[in-house]
Structure 1
Amino acid sequence: MGSRSARSAANGEARPADAAAGAVMADAMAAGCPRLCRRLEGETARAVLANADTLLFDCDGVLWRGEAAVSGAAAALGKLAAAGKRLCYVTNNSGRTRAAYTEKLRRLGFPPAELRHIFSSAFCAARYLRQALPPGAAAYVLGSPALAAELEAVGIPHLGPGPAALPGPAPADWVQAPLDPAVRAVLVGFDEHFSYAKLCQALRYLLRGGPDCLLVGTNRDHRLPLEGGAGIPGTGCLVKAVETAAQREAFIVGKPNRFMFDCVAGEFRVDPARTIMVGDRLDTDILMGNDCGLTTLLTLTGVTTLDEARGHRDSGCPARHGLVPDYYVDSIADLLPALGE
């Protein structure tokens, strides 16, 4: 005699899990959404992971929160690395160098990572400008020392990081500050010293150079979430200020722009069909993954709730369907059973 579940299947009886999955699929199909936002577990998890060569991980809210690793995340990544998976880290944070990320991964117990596996928005911005600027051209930077360090690493001269003051009490004084003739790009990242003086200088470079002066932003994240539901303005607010003043749209190198994935693909021979994007934000991580043809996995340890993802799935609005992941887990640690814990 076979198991009851086998007999039920043979008799056409739906098991509870099958019925739930069928209801999810029916809801998604009714809404016209190509992705189901299903829990990744059991045989499905084993099959999805077996089919993947590369996993791209967002960091904050996925692997750690602040300075504390998400419970079980390091063990899960250790299992993935032992299984021969390529692990890459893709983050919109422009405030840390790649070396700082490799050190944090080590400190929190994650598998060792080489610099070439870290793709921050600071690194991707430097890579973009290295390709786009003529030799010897400089960038005016509204950003952190880490962003400046990534520019230095690829040989791009820069100026601007740190505090800046207006050169006088009147607007006529503000437009007299000297401009470096070598500047051919304005680069906007997270800048705790962002000020009206810097905004004035950025605008002056853009007006002087016209279309030949590039305007580049690291990301459009509108808010940086903090513990307890607090938040601070994100880089997107600073990018928008410069765009509004210049009446120009910046080229964004970070998620959800596919340029960040192109950087990964340029470093490694990555097959999108065998790549998983793991993240906690729908409008950056999941949207980029979907746009690039990756399998997308939402973790609920960060800023997104399951109700939000399901709301997009069931909305019937095609523009919102790009925000829907293929799968979700409560935590990366939920992958451990599928990895042979």
Structure 2
Amino acid sequence: MSGSKCRRLSGTLVKPLLDSVDCVLFDCDGVIWRGDQAIPGAAQVVNRLKEKGKRVFFVTNNSTKTRAMYADKLAALGFDASEEEVFGTAYCSAAYLKTVCGLEEGGKVYLIGSPAMGQELEAVGIRPTGVGPDPVAGRQSDWANVELDPEVKAVLVGFDEHFSYMKLNRALQYLSRQGCLFVGTNRDTRLPLEGGKAVPGTGCLLQAVETAAQRQAQTVGKPNQFMFDCVASRHGVAPDRCLMVGDRLDTDILLGSGCGLKTLLTLTGVSTVADAEAHRGSGSAERQGMVPDYYVESIAELLPALQG
């Protein structure tokens, strides 16, 4: 592992790094906001980057909002952002099913996920089914013969606050059919909250479905390269002129490293410098990919280099 990795980004290092890139990809929660509050100085950094001619994109594994919903939240928190600059897993999963899996116009998907995911699927001509509660009904001996939609061609798993035994069972029955596609938004197992607490993430739901179906899903979200491909294909960005800014080593930094982007870890979210240092010298390429090029306490530290 190069000794130049995981350097504190400060002083004279900031401007050369920013001069070396044309676009910056930001994770959202833990990087530019926490919950419903912007990280102090984050909006000024994003807005000044754009004023300086940099292209800015927002790349999140959260599947509970549409691109339009994220654009509205960004605007409300003072960020200069448009819907076209947002890439969440709700949108990217719909794009994946359409472009990579080749799901035809009007195709149906059994969705374990949010209404926002359903909206993004509908926007590309895919029909979702399964959104909302699905309580257990009938006798156990009948559950394996639960009613299924014959038009469903894929199962898509994202964050679903109504996840239940019957949804798990229904997904298993669909995935037991010949040719049924299996896609997950992401594998994040925990969602960090304020005060150091956490709740189960989408990865827990996806693992449950994988265990039941005895099949592995293809995941779309970070660190899968498809998230960056979505940005690159729609906006023509070059990886060697991009900077990925994130708070998680196993998603944000690994995505950036795997796609040939420069990487910056901010310490306002999940991962720490000690976490990054623990991966140094590892024989595992994946662990090495979780060591960022640089780190900052907060992205607000970029602001002085953007003034003037």
TM-score range, shorter chain: over 0.9
Question: Could you say which residue in structure 2 is the equivalent of 1:169?
Answer: 139
CA contact (8 A) 1:35 1:325 kept: no
Aligned AA for 1:123? Answer: Y
Q: Of 50, 55, 72, which aligns to 1:86?
A: 55
- The question of 1:155 aligning with 2:119 is answered no
Distance 1:189 1:35 in 2: 37
Structure 1 runs of 4+ aligned residues shifted over 6 Å read: none
Aligned length: 306
The correspondence for 1:334, drawn from 289, 301, 305, is 301
Q: Over aligned residue pairs, what C-alpha RMSD do you find?
A: 1.3
Report deviation, 1:301: 0.5
Structure with more helix by fraction: 1
Query: Which of 267, 292, 297 does residue 325 from structure 1 map onto?
Result: 292
Structure 1 unaligned segments of length 5 or more: list them: 1-31
Alignment of 1:171-250 (within 5 A): 172-208=141-177, 210=178, 212-250=179-217
Post-superposition Cα deviations, 1:5-62, rounded to whole Å, max 9, x if no partner, equal: xxxxxxxxxxxxxxxxxxxxxxxxxxx3476100112222101101111100000000
| Alignment check: 8 A CA contact 1:35 1:313 kept | no
Is 2:266 aligned against 1:299?
Answer: yes
1:19 equivalent in structure 2: none
Q: TM-score, normalised by structure 2?
A: 0.96
SS, match of residue 145 in structure 2: coil
What is the match of residue 111 of structure 2?
141
Computing the radius of gyration over CA atoms, which structure comes out larger, 1 or 2?
A: 1
Q: C-alpha deviations, 1:266-304, integer Å up to 9, x for none? A: 111111110000000000000000000000000000011
Q: Specify which of 99, 104, 107 is matched with residue 68 of structure 2.
A: 99
Q: CA deviation at 1:318?
A: 4.3
- Structure 1 position 252, deviation (Å): 0.4
The change in CA–CA distance for 1:289 and 1:159 in structure 2 (over 3 A counts) is same
Which residue identity lines up with residue 301 of structure 2 in the other structure?
A: D
**Who is 2:88 aligned against?**
120
Aligned letter for 2:165?
Y
Relative distance call for 1:314 and 1:325 in structure 2 (3 A) is same
Give, in whole Å, the separation in 1 of the partners of 2:72 and 2:3. 39
State the secondary structure of the residue aligned to 1:241: helix
1:301 match: secondary structure:
coil
Q: CA deviation at 1:337?
A: 1.3
Q: What is aligned with 2:32? A: 63
Residue type at the aligned position of 1:122? A
Q: Is the 8 A contact 1:33 1:321 kept in 2?
A: no
Q: C-alpha deviations, 1:64-118, integer Å up to 9, x for none?
A: 000111001111111101001101000000001111110111101111x222111
Closer, same or farther: CA 173–258 of 1 in aligned 2, 3 Å: same
> 1:34–1:316: structure 2 CA closer, same or farther, 3 Å change rule?
farther
Q: Residues 28-67 of structure 1 correspond to what in structure 2 (within 5 A)?
A: 32-33=1-2, 36-67=5-36
Structure 2 unaligned residues grouped into runs of 5+? none
Counterpart contact for 1:167–1:177, Cα < 8 Å: no
